[in-house]
Every structure is written in C-alpha cells, then in structure tokens.
Amino acid sequence: MSQTDSQTATPLLQSLPRTLATAIRDTLQLYTDHPSSREREQLVATLAQISPVGIFRADADGQVTYVNDRWCEITGMTLEQAQGNWSQAVHSEDWEQVMAAWTKSTQTRQPFRQEYRVHRADDTVIWVLGQAIVETDEQDQVVGYVGTITDITDRKQVELALQERATELTYVNTMLARTTALLKKRNQELDQFAYVASHDLKAPLRAIANLSEWLEEDLDELLPTESRHQMQLLRGRVHRMEALINGLLEYSRIGRLEAEIEPVDVNALLMEVIDSLALPPTFTIIVGKNMPTLKTKRLLLGQVFANLISNAVKHHPHDHGQVTISVQSQGGHYEFAVSDDGNGIAPEYHNKIFTIFQTLEARDTKESTGIGLSIVKKIIETEGGSITVDSQVGAGATFRFTWHP
C-alpha cells in the first residue's frame, strides 16, 4: 500500500479501538518494509479474525471480494451472499441514503461513513456504522475499497430512547405551560369572583346591622329589654358573618398570592404583630431572645404568629394570662413554639382544631369563625412546614411549627 493510501486510511483508523488501530498501522508498515513477507500475510489474516468489527474488501466496481467472520456475524450473510449483492442487507428504508453516500464517496474518493440499519436473514434489525476508504495503485488508479462495519445497536437504542424522552419532556413542558397559564387565568377569575361575592354578601349584612341600630335608636324607651338584647344578638351574628367571609377569602388566597421574599428579623416582626393585635394590657407576651433573622415571606410568617397569638389570648380564661414564643434551630429549618397557660385542649380534639369551621366552644359563648387555625395550618404546609399541638386539659397548650428560610 502506498504512502498516499496510508494517509487516506487515517480517518478510518481514528474511529477504531486503539489496539486494533495500532495493529493495522503495524500491518501497513509491514507492507512498506516487507512487501512480500509471509509474516505480513499471517498478521493480516490474524488481525481480520480477531477484529471486533466487520472487515470487507471490494473491487473497483464495488463488488465484495472478501469479508471476515465478524462481518458475517453482524450482517447474517455468508461470503457468497456478500459477493452476490452486499447491499441487500441494507434496510429498505435506508437503502437510497446509503447508496447515495457510497456513490458520492466513490466519485470524490472521500472516506465513506454512514450509520444505517441492517435487515438480517433471521429477520432482526440492527444498527451499524459503515466506513470505507479507497485503495489506489502506484498510478493513483482506484483498485478497490477496504472498510469496516461496527454494530452500534446498543448506542442507537440509547439515543432513540433519549430522543423519545426528550419528545415526551417537550410535550410535558408544553402541557405544563398551558396548565400554568390556565391556572393563572382561573385564579384571576376566582379572585374577581371572590371580590364580587364578598362585596355582594357584605352589603346586605351592613344594611341589616345599620337597620337594627336605627330601629333601636328610633324606638329607644319603647324597645323592651329582651328586644334590645335580640338586636344586639343580631348585630353580633352580622359581624360574625362578615368575619367568616373575610376568613374564607383569606383561606382561599393562601398559596395563590405571591409574597415577597426578604430578610426578616423575627423579633422585630413579633413586636409589630403584638402591637397590631391590641391585646389586653394585663396579658403578658414573652419573646425568646434568640429569634433569628430569616430570608423568607414576611407577610405569611406574620399571619401565622398573629393567628396563634390571638387564638391563645381569645380562648384564655383570664385577662392576665401569659404567652411565650420560643425557637430552636433544626439544621435546615427552624421550629417555633407558641405556648400559653390557658385551659388546654383535650388530646381527642388536637386534630379537630385545625379543621375549617371547627370550634371547641359554642359561638355564642366565644365569638369565633373556626378559620384561624385552618389558615395557620394551610400557610405552614404550603411553605413546606408542619404544625402540631401539645396540650392537656388544664395545662395550657403549645403549638409547634417548622419554617424553612
């Protein structure tokens, strides 16, 4: 083989396993150093037999003159079948593409390289990488072609599987984008509906409350004590209904409204919350000294503390009770505790108190919508935390919740 042939073979050698490529280079060198050596012939024969790729040789017309055993194993064809028409092993759907690439290679003398499917005699289909280079004589005339085929079925199956997953992922992302857009639209519609419903529900309630006050003022001394009590009871029901509507709106918006994430000094936040609640002056609120500064949603954390503190005060049997707020670092999150020295809660009611509209006292005895702790639980769980209560009757209650910064 001439030096030109060796140079032409370089792209093919680069695509082969290192040990095989080295052996082929050694063989080419033997052709140069010992053109008639028997050692050369033996090495070539051995190389062809141990090769992990199929090796073939064709004449100037493209007719196969030699294939090794591995070529036969890959294609499922015999040497005789290959000599008759090797291209019949090419899958019908790939045949035109392979022939076009082969024709172009023979016309331009450029290396042939093509991935295509082989339809074997046992009716199985595999993927191969076919490569070939031109052989020329000393006058630079084409005398034939030498090449390899490599079974790449496993690799192609992985590629096809990845393509399928990519297609599925694209579809899922498209559907997710559509669903997100639809959900955003529905949330906007729900907010609008909630606003209108709230306005339409509150308007007649305010009218009822105003009417009862006017009647009470107009009748004045003529209104019996029992009737006056009924008027006050009616207005109490109206105010409870307004609070219930506001609570439902607040509950429905949890998780749908975007809250800004910002650095939050929890101690300062608690001072603001306590001040805004206008608690009885005889009530004592103790805040632990080790409150952290978090990068979190200030509005939501403030809602949680406000509901828990006001709930403890509202249900306390005395005006001189005490609420203690503490915190413990739990590695990736914090556990806050809001404790009171009130009447406590029986264990059988520990789950019930977090259910919307559930109260442990008659509403006429203690004004309550039964939504506050439901809001607390929903906010905390929406933010990835959890809440529990530790309490016994007569021993106060401690609400513990986790919060992720």
pLDDT at 6: 46
In this predicted structure, what is the pLDDT of residue 62?
Answer: 83
130 Rama class: left (phi>0) / alpha (psi -120 to 50) / beta: beta
Half-sphere exposure of 135 (CA within 13 A, CB side): 14
Q: What does the H/E/C string look like for 268-281?
A: HHHHHHHHHHCCCC
Q: Which domains does the chain have, with CATH numbers?
A: 3-151 (3.30.450.20), 254-405 (3.30.565.10)
Closest alpha carbon to 112 in 80, 147, 142: 147
Q: What is the pLDDT of residue 124?
A: 93
Number of Cβ within a 10 Å radius of residue 405: 14
Please check whether residue 76 is in contact with residue 89, taking contact to mean a CB–CB distance below 8 angstroms. Answer: yes
d(CA 177, CA 169): 12
Q: Which amino acid, one-letter code, is at 261? A: I
Distance CA 308, CA 305 (A): 5
Element (H, E) at 368: none
Taking the alpha carbons of 63, 65, 70, 72 in that order, is the dihedral positive or negative?
positive
DSSP letter at 83 equals H
Distance CA 370, CA 13 (A): 79
From CA 343, how far away is CA 395, in angstroms rounded? Answer: 6
Strands 293-297 and 387-391 turn out to be unpaired
Q: How far apart are CA 88 and CA 249, in angstroms?
A: 73
DSSP 3-state of 90: strand
Q: What is the CA radius of gyration of the chain?
A: 42
Instruction: For residue 31, give the 3-state DSSP assignment.
Output: helix
- Sequence length of the chain is 405
Contact assessment for residue 113 and residue 131, using Cβ atoms and an 8 Å cutoff:
yes
User: What strand order describes the sheet that includes 64-67?
Assistant: 64-67, 54-59, 142-151, 125-136, 112-119
Distance, CA of 308 to CA of 387 (rounded, Å): 11
Q: Per residue of the chain (405 residues), what is the pLDDT tens digit?
A: 444 444 444 555 555 555 555 655 555 555 555 555 566 566 566 666 667 889 998 888 888 888 888 999 999 888 888 887 788 889 999 999 999 999 999 899 999 999 999 998 888 999 999 999 998 888 889 999 999 999 999 999 999 999 999 999 999 999 999 998 888 887 777 677 767 766 667 777 778 888 888 888 888 778 888 888 888 888 877 776 776 677 667 666 676 667 788 999 999 999 999 988 878 888 999 999 899 999 998 888 988 998 899 889 988 888 889 999 999 998 889 999 999 998 888 888 888 888 765 565 544 545 555 677 888 898 899 889 999 999 989 889 999 999 988
CA distance 224 to 299: 47
Give the type of residue at 7.
Answer: Q
Query: Which tokens hold the place of 254?
Result: 């949890």
Q: How far apart are CA 247 and CA 261, in angstroms?
A: 24
**The token pair that represents 273 in the structure block:** 């919350």
pLDDT for 21: 58
Interatomic CA distance for residues 98 and 147, integer angstroms:
14
**The token pair that represents 119 in the structure block:** 């339809």
Q: What pTM does this model have?
A: 0.49
Contact 216, 228 (CB under 8 A): yes
Residues 6+ apart with CB under 8 A from 139: none
